Structure 1
Amino acid sequence: MYSTVPMVTVLALMALMPLLSGAVDIHQVRQLAAKNNVTCVLVFGDSSVDPGNNNRLLTPMKGNFPPYGQDFFDRRPTGRFTNGKLATDFIAEAIGYTKIIPAFLDPNLKPIYLPHGVSFASAASGYDDLTANLSNVLPVSKQLEYLKHYKLHLSRLVGAKKAQNIVRNAIFVLSMGTNDFLQNYYLEPTRPKQFTVDQYQNFLASRMFEDIKEMNRLGATRVVVVGVPPLGCIPLVKTLTGQNTCVESYNQAALSFNAKIKEKLAILKKTIGIKDAYVDCYGVIQNAINNPKNLVSTNRIRETLRFLGLMETSKGCCGSGTIEYGDTCRGMTTCADPSKYAFWDAVHPTEKMYRIIADRAIQSLNEALID
């Protein structure tokens, strides 16, 4: 008897199977990390990896109020734009040195935590400095300046030689790019007058290239870059464009940009010998979004979905789920079970989705950086 499940569905399931089968062996990850002297995780980027640096900035781009953080420790809103942990928190926990990655600008950050990793990321930032400047947040250039401050503090704490070793063996994570398109290119007039979409992608990829070269000059030898998600499937984008389905032109821009990221990483590997890994955030989220629509024809597929746990992928958990994020999510009611949602607000993933992304990132680390 021939299967009635479409081939695209089978392929999607195959792509998800490592995540669904619990393929990430934490014990193995920690063994490999120890074997290869991985010391900590140092993070750069936007709201996808900002644990609260923006709390210290004069910017409206903050998430340090309820309902953000309702599933975090003590139900505490930290500045993370989700209900609980970020993907970088899960990555650090898997490696084994800390349960969360703190914000470098957190006034309560104790020096003893510095060797275990920090985040310099700033919500609403991007590879383009203009993107950060539009919201008065930290551009990558400023995040790299704080990396220098981090190294000085670390040297005072553990000595120059050990501090150098910690940075050299750290995993540097870069996660940004979404705001460059959604809050800059597609919203503001400056860049579209200067660049076509393709040219702007090249500009962003070149900025990333230079950022990683600067990180390498500051000691980085291992870099993980997270690709941009399917921009056209973000609930807010669908709402603003009046579409019920993903906006194909936005998704195509994301796919094209991600391809250019991978090209630049290949060049960096050849020219400066940096070890790198690429995390296919686009594919992970796209699979989660598509599967509930496509995978409803058999009991086996329903069981797979229950294991994954994501039943609502078209809107967020906060408020209506179609337009609220950041300050407009403040004090709003939320869905009964965020673990069934891919999106927490109209822009950002839930803790559940971040865990899935982290699993993919850890697999990439095993393959490209550690193993």
Structure 2
Amino acid sequence: MAQNMARRRVVLVQILALALAAVMPLLSGGVDIQQVRVLAAKFNVTCVVVFGDSSVDPGNNNYIATPFKGNFLPYGKDFFRGHPTGRFSNGRLATDFIAEALGYTNEIRPFLNKRLRPVDILHGVSFASAASGYDELTANLSHVLPVSKQLEYFREYKMRLRQLIGARKAENIIKNAVAVMSMGTNDFLQNYYLEPIRPKQYTLEEYQNYLASCMSDDVKTMHSLGITRLVVVGVPPLGCMPLVKTLMNQETCVEKYNNFSSSFNSKLQFKLEVARTTLGMKIGYVDAYGIFEDAVNNSKKYGFIEASKGCCGTGTIEYGDTCRGMSTCADASKYVFWDAVHPTERMYEIIAGQAIDSLRKQLMA
């Protein structure tokens, strides 16, 4: 009897492995949700917690005194019920798709939401703040939440979780949660290249090293707070952003900006490998650079018809408040960029596919 049960387990694992091998999220952005949920259950994934900038902020900035908000149309025009939430896109973010694939919720809630429900606490929340970065100065310049404050709110989240289900269950949820961290763009575009403080202190390469060290320190703090599974999203090719191309008066991607984006990602990955070894954490990496580069260069492969400009306004300079009330393209799903900086919901879905693939290979192997 015991031998039969053991054989069944082996067969089940083999079937699961074959099924998962068939998942190809990078090609289409599509994810076989049932297969992912089987895997999540197998590895007891409990919830998703999110740290970062506008790429993963579902609306925390709505509740703080900052001009960096996206809680007005046309942002959110393709979201559920067609209303803006604070997400800097026409619809959902990659983290929303990740949480849905894992079986928890189809939209991650902002932790600062005044009407956060117990079920939201259990499924996971986002602490991210648009315009934030690895450098604390980046967030302070924009009056948004630096990573240190996001981690402070995470401590508060743990307390609320303990009050809800007890200390032992709460620690188990945190231990088996998947944390996502996505930022870095603002450190360069809204800090180093606009403000005089950091360029006087660091060369570009020194600043990259500084940011990578900040990220490493954040990972250590997360580990000390009980996080054991982490997915870090690299920075995209900044030179392909419509805004950057406009400012640099180029029609094609600005090679200089892409080169330092790629260089910075290499430094991030080195630090993450050190963290895997020294902390014993399971850490996945999402190659946002490669995904965007492929989408821009091979648009038709993903069903895009426009990769050079955004869907909002002229698509060349508008983002944030300058996008407010602007007309948009007819079908955002055919565009890589929603505004001159941020991706469309469709592009976020493709990024989520790679993130889930990273979860499968690097966190649940």
TM-score grouping bracket, smaller chain normalisation: over 0.9
* Residue 329, structure 1, aligned to residue 323, structure 2: yes
Aligned partner (choices 77, 82, 90) of residue 84 of structure 2? 77
Deviation, 1:23, is: 6.8
Percent identity between the aligned chains? 68
Range with bigger deviation, 316-325 or 106-115: 106-115
Measured in 1, the distance between the counterparts of 2:25 and 2:38 equals: 20
Specify whether residues 21 and 286 from structure 1 end up closer, same or farther in structure 2 by C-alpha distance, changes over 3 A only.
Answer: closer
Measured in 1, the distance between the counterparts of 2:66 and 2:228 equals: 33
In the alignment, is the contact (CA less than 8 A) between 1:24 and 1:363 conserved in 2? no
4+ runs of 1 displaced by more than 4 Å?
none
* Residue 357, structure 1, aligned to residue 351, structure 2: yes
Measured in 2, the distance between the counterparts of 1:177 and 1:23 equals: 26
> What residue is the counterpart of 2:140 in the other structure?
133
Deviation, 1:230, is: 0.3
Question: Gapped runs of 5+ residues in structure 1?
Answer: 1-16, 293-304
Deviation, 1:107, is: 1.0
1:268-347 superposed matches below 5 A: 268-292=275-299, 305=300, 308-347=302-341
SS in 2 for 1:313: strand
> What residue is the counterpart of 1:193 in the other structure?
200
1:223-302 superposed matches below 5 A: 223-292=230-299
Question: Gapped runs of 5+ residues in structure 2?
Answer: 1-23
Deviation, 1:22, is: 6.4
Deviation, 1:115, is: 0.8
In the alignment, is the contact (CA less than 8 A) between 2:29 and 2:351 conserved in 1? no
Range with bigger deviation, 238-247 or 126-135: 238-247
Range with bigger deviation, 134-143 or 99-108: 99-108
Measured in 2, the distance between the counterparts of 1:260 and 1:241 equals: 26
SS in 2 for 1:348: coil
Measured in 1, the distance between the counterparts of 2:196 and 2:29 equals: 45
Residue type of the alignment partner of 2:324: R
Deviation, 1:27, is: 1.7
* Residue 59, structure 1, aligned to residue 59, structure 2: no
Specify whether residues 22 and 202 from structure 1 end up closer, same or farther in structure 2 by C-alpha distance, changes over 3 A only.
Answer: closer
Residue type of the alignment partner of 2:283: D
Residue type of the alignment partner of 1:206: S
Specify whether residues 45 and 21 from structure 1 end up closer, same or farther in structure 2 by C-alpha distance, changes over 3 A only.
Answer: closer
Aligned residues: 342
**C-alpha root-mean-square deviation of aligned residues, in Å?**
1.1
